[in-house]
Amino acid sequence: MADLTLRGISKEFGGGVRAVDSVDLTFANGELTALLGPSGCGKTTLLRMIAGLDTPTGGRILLGSEDITDVPAHARRFGMVFQSFALFPHLNVEDNVAYALAIAGMDKARRRNRARELLDLVQLADYATRRIGELSGGQRQRVAIARALAQEPRIFLLDEPMSALDAKLREDMQVELRLLQQKLGITTIVVTHDQREAMTMADRIVVMSAGRTEQVGPPQEIYNRPASRFVASFIGKANFLAGTVRDGAVETAGGMLHLESPAPFRNGAPVSLACRPESTRVSTRSRQAGNEIAAQVTFIRDIGPNREVFLEAGDVPLICEMRGSESDDLSVGATVFAHLPPEALLVFPGDHAGIVS
């Protein structure tokens, strides 16, 4: 199967709302891509244009060399799973899966075989004759997936597929869906606003903001090398410190902080530094090694084997995640030193401070 390419895709709704703004993207054959971003950033609109459910107001959509921009949704042969699953409550599980095959004119015996094959794939073989109302949320989702896969879609599209499931089931289904996608090798695009979901499932994440792509890359790259302050704050937690560039280092209210390589901004430029909680170290004694800020411990909470330590450096809140055993000597109210290693600091234009999670 071929790559799916978007060239300058835009969607303007009435009243000047630019939901999607000149997006260029390639979805590689066999990859799972997550479209990730805050509510209203245009993820669903982009997915609906790929599905053929919305018409772009600009740009082209190509599958390999085939221009499918004007091909109607049913003729694209893409499978789609919606947030609501949109199953037929009056049909049983097998008939839900076989529905599209019946419409396509497949005979009853083949339909039944294909539906059984798919129910096997999503581990629902024993539920073929059950009514939809007699299934759990996770089982309904599997029916929706099996139904979307029934016609051997060329591309598999999912819009917030886990949002109706509780937290534990959602995590299980993320892994299951990823394994299924890898087994089938089907090009898949998942819309989500949940960064953990995107990190769990995706080969590549497209971070969107206000109708545009902010960054495209594998999960680790997006997390470790966010291209903008927006991406650093949207993916994972980060401590932000406002400062001013001084000879490649950054002067903050808590002291001078050095970077691994000089900050690429002119002297005097306002910048913000970001440091992930797991890279922010805290100790009761100064290391006398620079890149340290004095702070007070305001709150400590256990999160499984790790502990989150909340600090206040001047009026800037910081958060540090460390092994429980490393933080035994910390207590609320204590004066401590937050160490922000040069290699863990990211620098962005603009002066913002605080924790973003």
The per-residue DSSP string of 64-130 comes to TTEE-TTS-HHHHTEEEE-TT----TTSBHHHHHHHHHHHTT--HHHHHHHHHHHHHHTT-GGGTT-
CA dihedral 328, 331, 335, 336 (to 10 degrees): 30
The one segment of 38-46, 134-142, 306-314, 335-343 that binds ligand ATP by CB under 6 A: 38-46
Closest-CA residue to 218 (of 234, 227, 205): 205
Closest CA to 38 of 168, 211, 161: 211
- Judged by beta carbon, residue 41 or residue 189, the one nearer ligand ATP is 41
Q: How far apart are CA 14 and CA 72, in angstroms?
A: 22
205 is an interface residue for ligand ATP by CB under 6 A = no
Residue (of 297, 300, 286) closest to 339 by Cα position = 286
Q: Cβ closer to ligand ATP: 11 or 307?
A: 11
Best CA proximity match to 199, nearest among 228, 231, 174: 174
- Which listed residue (1, 8, 13, 286) binds ligand ATP by CB under 6 A? 13
**Closest CB 178 distance from ligand ATP, rounded Å:** 21
CB of 35 to ligand ATP, least distance (A): 8
Closer residue to ligand ATP (CB): 17 or 103 = 17
Tokens representing residue 320 in the block? 């540090």
Closest contact distance (angstroms) between CB of 233 and ligand ATP is 17
Smaller CB separation from ligand ATP, 41 or 249: 41
Interface pick for ligand ATP out of 45, 181, 252, 291 (rule CB under 6 A) = 45
Residue type, 111: R
Stretch of 11-19, 105-113, 199-207, 238-246 lying at the interface with ligand ATP (CB under 6 A)? 11-19
Of 41 and 259, nearer to ligand ATP (C-beta) is: 41
Subset of 155-194 contacting ligand ATP (CB under 6 A) = 193
Instruction: Please report, as ranges, the residues that interact with ligand ATP according to CB under 6 A.
Output: 13, 17, 19, 37, 39-45, 193
